[in-house]
Structure 1
Amino acid sequence: MASPIQIVLNPENFDEAREAGGGGGRKDFYAHRDREFVAHKAALMGQLDSISAILAAQSQGPIGYLKVVLKREAWAKSHRPVSKLFRSDRTPVVGGGDLGEMLVEGRPATLALVIAEIQKSETATVMRFDETRGRELPHPSAQRSETGAIDRIELYGPSDKRRFSVEEAVTWLSDPMTGSSYEVELFDVVPPRDEWDRLDAPHRELISSFVEGFGEVGKGMSVERLPNWKRGLPRLSVRLDQSPNGAVMRLTNASSAARERRALAPFDGDPQRHSHLLKFLDRHPLVRSVELPGVVVRSARTPALVRTRPSVATIPNRSAQSSHPRIGIVDGGIGEALSGWIIDRWDILADEDMDLNHGTFIGGLAVAGGNLNGPETCPEPDGAELVDLAIFPDQRKPGAFPSYYSGGLPDFFDELGTAVADARARHGVRVFNMSLNILQPAVPDRYSTHAARLDQIAEENNAVVFVSAGNTDPQDFRPEWPADTATALSNLAVARNDGLLTPAESARNVAVGAVNPPGHGSCLPFAPTRFSRRGPGLRSGVKPDLAHVGGSGSQHASLGHGLFSVLPDGTVVDGCGTSYASPLVAKTAAKLVHEIEGEVSRETLIGLLVHNAETPEPLRPKELGPVARHLVGFGLPPSADRILETGDHSITLVFASRIQQGQQINFRFSWPPSLVTGGKCRGYAKLTLVSTPPLDARFGSEFVRVNINAALQQAQDTGWKGRLDPLYLPSSRGAHAVEAELIEHDLKWSPVKVFEKTFPRGVGPTSDWRLMVEYLTRTGEHMPNGGVPFTAILTISDPEGDAPVFNDMRQNLQALGARIADIRTAVRITPRV
């Protein structure tokens, strides 16, 4: 008998005061290696002396920015050198780069204070008897511990700011689709001119030299402050043009609503001018990065006509008496063949600027994918109400994109935000598919502007955008996935140019990779396609999040790519691309929204998909675990019906709540009696946690500022023991993992975490368990006033399919005072699902 997912209606009853702890005491990173420490100490002081001399001599004033690189074993919050060395009142931390990289502001006077603190560190290892452990342990001063935690200190310079040549820049910016503007990130905001008197002399010199420096580049330039979607990281658009006027500076009052669409002077491709500009930006301390703008591309190959089955597309009729899932499709328009399912259009494109093929293929999968491809590929019932957000002009038509978005991608995302808000307000659409990518790879140490903007759109509209992971270029296709594990790993090792495209690294939305279709003779079913790009994107987290069938990258004689949809006129076509995998996951999400009454939270919606996803068979060998997460994320989600109902031998509990400052969630329960024998608990357990923590792109790889963690623990004689392993835990690891391993394998700091374990022989000694949810903030970070929303989903089941787990747990929970109900109707009782 089917047993529905249960949501806990009173999670607030299990809040309690947060337990202090974690971090440990000061660590001596050079214990019993005193000679090495003396050399290390001298090296750091020498590095700081050299940096101070450079800052004292620079024409822009004495302020500069330093890159403090920590040792791998010192990445944890408790080891950060900010108590004695880089104190916030004199050398404030202003951001981060890669994992373990702190960016700090300094000047010669404050760096002298840092040198003085390093000088205080003792050169001999100090030992102290630890009564708890019954032996002597190293007991360093704060100065020695912090000095030892640092690997090296460097001045943030040109090589950190720019990753392209002048020639590459001119060639790229000559394409009108880019908007022809550099994107410049600053370490600090340029205030209005009438507020410069509020700055101290060094900061005033820093700002004035930056503004005046643009005037030296010459006439024909516009500098405009862009809307700040990246929390605290000021961004400028800098464009060289052929205008006879001087530099036009718009450095304050950035507002997307206020930015009028104005005619732009022709782009100036003079390499000498670009070289002059880039040298100025490279050398100025205020500049954090200079990037080339992206170009929007579709993640699909052009469909080819099908020569055989299926020959005719049967488009179901939409009944006015029935309701259906709703999806917003962000693309270039949807054709007449699906007009019966289109409930609204956001149509800014002229007919001659539309390319309907791509959007129609995506819409066809949502409306008629089951009929054309079968339930193994398209598990949801056919039929979906579509809102056509036609905002992407035909990319094959020169000049079409800049004619609508003269400011480039910022204008495009503004239009996207307006269109999504309209679909949300008019039709309650909360699931959007955007099978478009920016032709920029996601990098491990920076959170892209495009991902941050997409986050903002999703949060403002309480929506989820499903984004394609992106396709490699044909010349970079990998070989078809082999059945042999060693060969698969070898093929991946030599693959090139197949990293994730932005904005697929978005932390608030879902990126989707592609796997092969079943029943296609040219490829291994459900293995990663040869074209699907892979993560990780940023180092913390799993990207892509999920995967689905996206057609084969190798054509079959009669089946083509093996994934079928329709052209605008209703003709059946085949195609492939991560573009076409994404709407299949979006369809399941839309079905969940449709089946659950009220407004299911974003965290619960994403959590249900991730929690029930399964790694496809070709990627299940243990050796493939480290690469599987970068190809298919948490796996392929099943149908919404399978997600919402389980059998009697299993129970799934959903906790949707907020964790507040100073609080933790402690949910105690007894293991199902039918799975307890002789005090030992057997069975299978899986725990998924999805949260929405504050983000700050200034800190690079450490942009997630609050870590929400969950654990399923069993009572022991001396406390509680965590019983689950991270989904992608390596086969062997030491008992005490350092911060780097916790980030990589345990997904510490990731907004999405999954843990699981099977206990075939049972674990003891008691049947007392608890689900714990707690938080940890970064150094200097505070919990938001409203707390951090999260959803924890816990499944306990009998792998043998015999024990009455659902009824056992239901009775236990009722006895404990936990109120539970079917998630589909819980909104009638509780405000948060």
Structure 2
Amino acid sequence: MASPIQIVLNPDNFQEAREKGGGGGHKDFFAHRDKEFAAHKTSLLQQIETISVELAAQATGSVGYAKVILRREAWAKSHRPMTALFRPDRTRLVGGADLGVMIVEARPRSLAEVAKQIEEAETETILRFDETKNKDVPYPSARKSEVGAIDRIELFRASDKRNFSVEEAVAWLSNPMTGGSYQVELFTPPAPRADWDRLDEANRTLLETFVAGFSTLGQGVSVARMSSGSGSQPLLSVRLDETSTPVLRMNDTPSNERKRALAPFAHDIESHIRLLEFLDNHPLVRRIELPGIVVRANAATENRTRPSAATINARDLRRSYPKLGVVDGGISPALDEWIIDRWTVLADEDSNHAHGTFIGGLATIGASLNGPEICSEADGAELVDIAIFPSPEKAGAFASYYPDGVPQFFDEMEAAVADAHARHGVRVFNMSLNILQPAVADRYSAHAVRLDGIAEANNAVIFVSAGNTQPQDLRPEWPADASRALADLALARNDGLLTPAESARNVTIAALNPTGHDGCVPYAPTRYSRRGPGLRGSMKPDLAHVGGAGTQHTTLGHGLFSILPDGAIVDGCGTSYAAPIAAKTAAVIEHLIEGEVSRETIIGMLVHHARLPEPLRDKTLSPVARHLVGFGMPPSAETILETGDHSITLVFASRIKPGEQINFGFSWPASLVETGGKCRGAAKLTLVSTPPLDARFGAEYVRVNINAVLQQEQAPDKWKGRLEPVYLPDKRDRHAIEAELIEHDLKWSPVKVHAKNFPKGVGPSSNWRLFVEYLTRAGEEMPEEGVPFTAVLTISDPTDDKPVFNEMRQNLQAIGAQITDIRTAARITPRV
């Protein structure tokens, strides 16, 4: 018998004051190694002295920026050297880079104060008797602990700012689709000229020399503030052109500003050398990047049509359908029956409907063309056609609509998504487009920042393709042997994710092989699908779905079917086509739940019920599986929203606020409890949150960690977590350090999944709790409005025998938990 997913209507009743603790005392990283610590102190002092001398001699003033690089075992918040050494009142923390790398504002005077604290750190190992351990243990001062936590201190230099040559830059920027502008990130926003008198002498000199430097280049240069989607990340667009007068607009400009025609791009190499040397060497500049180019994520052309036309059924105006926004180059009139609105800026001659129509066909008639094993949702979806991507086959088309490049494209997308949401309530969008820039492990790209801002502003979820490799980088077809698969992956090159697939607010989709295609292993990763991990500590891609085979079959072609603009059947492949199939399931979930379901719940439902494809379940593939398919392939919306009587799925959609935690206690199902309190069964817990993000901190861009654990009572007020990360490679036999928690437990990731089977029973008690808490980064404050999250918990009997659903419902009602079918919950609760 089917049992609906239950949502807890009164999660606020289980909020309580946050327990303040954790972190422990100071750690001595050089315990019993006194000589080594003395040498380490001397080395750090020399590094600081060198940096101070260099800063004092700068023509740009005495302000600079330094990297404080922590040793791996000191990545945890409690070990950060921000209490005794780099205190906020002494040195300003301005960002981060890779994990464990702090970037601070540095001045000779403040560095001298840091050096004094380092000098005062005791060299000898101090011991103190610990009664709980019944032995002497190291008991360092805060100074010694923080000095030991640091590996080294370096000045932020030109080598940290860019990774391309001048020749590469000029060749890339010559393409009109780029907009021709360097993207320059600063450490701090430039103050308006009228406020310079409020700056201290060092900061005023820093800004004056930055502005003056553009005027001395001897070439026309245009500088403008870019919209980053994040007020904390100051970005400038810097373009060299063939005019003679510099135009400097470093502060915000009105959004309705009239766009002027761009002056011709300057190809002169010497001019670019002077510009890049200036930017490389000015302390205010943090990073210089080349702009991206928007590309479609289809790996092969649609090369074969069916002998008969597809049947496009009429839309029944008496009923409602799931809604999906398609951000692409336009959908042909062949699907007019299902298009409820169009947002287009493209002239007919600049449009190419093939890609968008294939995607629209998958959403509307994909099930009848491909069957439920590939397209599990019933045919029919109301589409909003967001036609904003000009034909890539027409030279100069993109630049004619978006002369400023990708940022201007995102401006148009932002307006279109907001309009579709406001007019039609569209919450799910498909964007099978990528930026031709690889995602990197230590940087949250400006493209991902913009996309995430669009999703958050509209309470929407955007499905993004992971991207496809170039033809020369295709991997071999996935083999049946796991060891051979690992070897093929080890030899693969240039197959990492493209931006903005590292997006933190949206869902990235990789591609799987279709069924019934004897040229490939069913549901294995396709040979063209790009892989993660994206930023360190994250899970990308998030999910995977069928995208068509990269090797053609003699009769089936790529094995995934949709339609051409004229309505004819065609086969194709690409992560472009995997994304809308997953997006359709999300749209059906959103449609079946009354009211405006939160984006955290939509994502959580998909991730929680996703399953690892069969070809990736071999244990030897565990370390790489998540980088290929994320949490796996989601089933149909119907399967997600209903369970059997042998299990229950509970949804907690709430907001954790400053100073609070959530403690939801309950009894394990009685039929799964043995004599002595041992509990059998299986449990799975998925958490999706929307924490504050800050791109200035690189790989540490997530500033608040929301964590949920399922714990069993061991003794009064003593609890033990019972679940493990789904991708934990080996059973732990010791306490995990911060680096391991980031890598395997996805600490700091907005999406986490833990699970465990207990076939023999565990623990001494039937008392369990779902516990949700938060942790802020060092120096970070929890937002006053809190952080929204959704936790999805399933408890089941793997033998499909015990009445878990009914037992849990009775237990929860007895403790005052109000629960109901999630599909109708909006009648009662404001947040689902």
Give the shorter-chain TM-score range: over 0.9
Question: Partner letter of residue 297 of structure 2?
Answer: S
Q: Could you tell me how far apart the structure 2 residues matched to 1:762 and 1:291 are?
A: 55
1:311 Cα deviation (Å)?
4.4
**Which residue of the partner structure matches residue 577 of structure 1?**
574
TM superposition shift of 1:367:
0.6
Which residue of 2 is the match for residue 132 of structure 1? 132
Partners of 2:484 and 2:305 in 1: CA distance: 33
- Counterpart-to-counterpart distance in 1, 2:267 and 2:645: 69
Deviations 1:430-475 (A, max 9, x none): 0000000000111111111111111111111111100001001010
Indicate conservation of the 8 Å contact 1:306/1:558, yes or no.
no
Corresponding letter in the other structure for 2:59: S
Q: TM-score, normalised by structure 2?
A: 0.99
Deviation at 1:233, TM superposition (A): 1.4
1:541 offset after TM fit, Å? 1.6
Alpha-carbon displacement from aligned partner over 1:173-203 (angstroms, at most 9, x marks no partner): 0000000000000001111111101000000
- Do the aligned partners of 2:219 and 2:271 also contact (CA within 8 Å) in 1? no
Give, in angstroms, the shift of residue 396 of structure 1.
1.3
Query: After the TM superposition, which parts of structure 1 deviate over 6 Å for at least 4 consecutive aligned residues?
Result: none
Q: Secondary structure at the match of 2:768?
A: strand
Residue aligning to 2:144 = 144
Structure 2 CA distance for aligned equivalents of residues 114 and 92 of structure 1: 12
Q: Give the 3-state SS of the residue equivalent to 1:184 in structure 2.
A: strand
Contact 2:694 2:702 in 1 (8 A): yes
Q: 3-state SS of the aligned residue for 1:279?
A: helix
**Deviation for aligned residue 1:258:** 3.2
Report deviation, 1:262.
1.3
CA distance in 1, matches of 2:148, 2:118: 10
Q: Deviations over 1:414-437 (max 9, x none)?
A: 000000011111111000000000
Retained in 1: the 8 A contact 2:30–2:37? Answer: yes
Q: Within 1, Cα distance between the matches of 2:61 and 2:397?
A: 45
- The aligned counterpart of 1:449 is 446
Give the Cα–Cα distance (whole angstroms) in 1 for the partners of residues 455 and 169 of structure 2: 32
Q: Deviations over 1:259-302 (max 9, x none)?
A: 32210100001111001100000000000000000000000034
SS at match of 1:690: strand
**How far apart, CA to CA, are the structure 2 residues paired with 1:259 and 1:22?**
51
In the alignment, the residues of structure 2 paired with residue 377 and residue 108 of structure 1 have an alpha-carbon distance, to the nearest angstrom, of 63
Q: Which residue of 2 aligns with 1:683?
A: 681
Query: In the alignment, is residue 325 of structure 1 matched against residue 318 of structure 2?
Result: no
Do structure 1's residue 17 and structure 2's residue 17 form an aligned pair?
yes
Give the secondary structure class of the aligned counterpart of 1:677.
coil
Alignment-mate amino acid for residue 821 of structure 2? D
Q: Secondary structure at the match of 2:792?
A: strand
Q: Which residue number in structure 2 is paired with residue 60 of structure 1?
A: 60
Indicate the residue corresponding to 2:723 in structure 1: 724
- Residue 825 of structure 1 aligns to a residue in which SS? helix
Aligned partner letter, 1:148: G
CA distance in 2, matches of 1:219, 1:515: 51
- Cα distance in 2, alignment partners of residues 465 and 254 from structure 1: 28
**Counterpart contact for 1:37–1:123, Cα < 8 Å:** yes
> For residue 163 of structure 2, what is the aligned residue in structure 1?
163
Q: Distance in 2 between matches of 1:683 and 1:212?
A: 69
Which AA in structure 2 matches 1:757?
Answer: K
What does residue 628 of structure 1 align with? 625
In 1, distance between residues paired with 2:125 and 2:516? 66
Corresponding residue to 1:712 among 696, 710, 713: 710
With over 3 angstroms needed to count, the CA separation of the structure-2 counterparts of 1:773 and 1:187, relative to structure 1, is same
Equivalent residue number for residue 736 of structure 1: 735
Match of 1:337 among 334, 338, 352: 334
SS at match of 1:30: coil
2:800 maps to 1:797: no
Task: Map 1:781-792; keep pairs closer than 5 Å.
Answer: 781-792=780-791
Structure-2 separation of matches of 1:487 and 1:433: 34
Asked if the contact 1:498/1:534 (under 8 Å) is kept, the reply is yes
Question: Is 2:397 the partner of 1:400?
Answer: yes
Q: Is this contact kept in 2: 1:307–1:559, CA < 8 A?
A: no
Judge conservation of contact 1:481–1:527 (CA < 8 Å) in 2.
yes
**2:366 partner letter:** G
* 1:218/1:247 contact within 8 Å kept: no
- Unpaired runs of at least 5, structure 2: none
Matches within 5 A, 1:586-601: 586-601=583-598
Q: Distance in 2 between matches of 1:106 and 1:388?
A: 51
Q: Helix, strand or coil: the match of 2:82?
A: coil
**Structure-2 separation of matches of 1:624 and 1:43:** 43
Q: Does 1:421 align with 2:418?
A: yes
Q: Does 1:815 align with 2:814?
A: yes
Partner Cα distance (2:275, 2:308) in 1: 58
Separation of aligned partners in 2, 1:210 and 1:254? 20
**Contact residue 299 and residue 528 of structure 2 kept, 8 A:** no
Contact in 2 for aligned 1:231/1:695 (Cα 8 Å): no
Q: How many Å apart are 1:732 and its aligned residue?
A: 3.6
1:30 maps to what in 2? 30
Structure 2 partner of 1:72: 72
1:384 match: 381
Structure 1 residue 143: Cα displacement? 1.1
Which position in structure 2 is the counterpart of 1:294?
Answer: 292
Q: What residue in structure 2 maps to residue 764 of structure 1?
A: 763
Q: Is the 8 A contact 1:226 1:254 kept in 2?
A: no
* TM-fit CA distance, 1:673: 0.5
Q: Point out the more displaced range, 481-490 or 665-674.
A: 481-490
1:466 maps to 2:463: yes
1:279 is matched with 277
Give the Å deviation of 1:654: 0.4
Conserved 8 A contact 2:64-2:105: yes
The yes-or-no answer on 1:662 pairing with 2:659 is yes
Equivalent of residue 368 in structure 1, options 365, 368, 374: 365
TM-score, with length taken from structure 1:
0.99
CA shift, 1:307, in A, is 6.0
Assess if the C-alpha contact under 8 Å between 1:307 and 1:558 holds in 2: no
Could you tell me which of 643, 646, 651 is aligned with 2:648?
A: 651
Q: Which residue of 2 aligns with 1:485?
A: 482
Q: Deviations over 1:56-95 (max 9, x none)?
A: 1111111110011100000000000011111111211110
Counterpart in the other structure of 2:347: 350
Of the three residues 304, 307, 311, the one matched with 1:306 is 304
1:153 maps to which residue?
Answer: 153
1:208 matched residue in structure 2 = 208
Aligned to 2:754: 755
CA contact (8 A) 1:261 1:406 kept: no
Check 1:165–1:645 CA distance in 2 against 1; reply closer, same or farther (3 A cut).
Answer: same
Q: Distance in 1 between matches of 2:723 and 2:302?
A: 47
Residue in structure 2 matched with residue 117 of structure 1 by the alignment: 117
Deviation at 1:540, TM superposition (A): 2.0
CA distance in 1, matches of 2:715, 2:822: 36
- 2: CA distance between counterparts of 1:19 and 1:710? 14
Question: 1:511 maps to what in 2?
Answer: 508
Q: Structure 2 counterpart of 1:682, which letter? A: R
Which position in structure 1 is the counterpart of 2:828?
829
**How far did residue 557 of structure 1 move?**
1.0
Q: How many residues align?
A: 830
- Where 1:304 maps in the other structure, the secondary structure is coil
Deviation per CA, 1:390-420: give whole Å up to 9, x if none.
0000011111011111111111000000000
The aligned residue for residue 260 of structure 1 is 258
SS at match of 2:679: strand
Give per-residue Cα distances to partners, 1:550-600, cap 9 Å, x unaligned. Answer: 001111111111111000001111111000000001000000011000110
**Percent of residue pairs identical:** 68
C-alpha distance in structure 1 between counterparts of 2:766 and 2:534, whole Å: 41
Partner of 2:96: 96
Contact 2:298 2:468 in 1 (8 A): yes
> Do the aligned residues in 2 keep the contact of 1:125 with 1:140 (CA within 8 Å)?
yes
How far residue 733 of structure 1 moved from its aligned partner, in angstroms, is: 3.1
Could you tell me which runs of 5 or more consecutive residues in structure 1 were left unpaired when the two chains were aligned: none
**Alpha-carbon distance in 2 for matches of 1:165, 1:540:** 30
Deviation of 1:132 after TM superposition, in Å, equals 2.2
Cα distance in 1 between the residues matched to 2:397 and 2:440: 29
The AA in structure 2 aligned to 1:66 is A
| Paired residue secondary structure (2:739) | helix
